[in-house]
Amino acid sequence: TLEHAKLKARLEVLQRNQRHYAGEDLDSLSMKELQNLEHQLDSALKHIRSRKNQLMHESISELQKKDKALQEQNNKLSKQVKEREKEL
């Protein structure tokens, strides 16, 4: 069917692009296509680095919150220990 043929052609394009992204079958590409591929890879890398930095900042922020909560809990427990020592 026509739908099947379109899907098959789309799959072939995607597989070819995937090979290009992996650095395979590049000899069939023109200089313009190679420059396009390089630009796409650069853009993807920038996006990935940006996302990684965002996730790292979020992780650091969460760890700082946990650290603050643990410090507060530690201070509270230290006060309780000192109060009990006074009672003895």
> For 39-51, what is each residue's pLDDT tens digit?
999 999 999 999 9
What integer is the mean pLDDT of 63-73? 99
Written as six digits, the tokens of 35 are 């420059």
pLDDT at 87: 87
What is the band of 76 on the pLDDT scale with cuts at 50, 70, 90?
Answer: very high
For 59, the domain range is 2-87
pTM summary value: 0.70
Band of pLDDT at residue 68, cut at 50, 70 and 90: very high
Q: In angstroms, how far is the first alpha carbon of the chain from the final one? A: 89
- Find, among 56, 20, 13, 24, the residue nearest to 40 by Cα: 20
| Residue 88 pLDDT | 79
Task: Please state, as a whole number, how many other Cβ atoms lie within 10 Å of the Cβ of residue 36.
Answer: 13
Domain count, the chain: 1
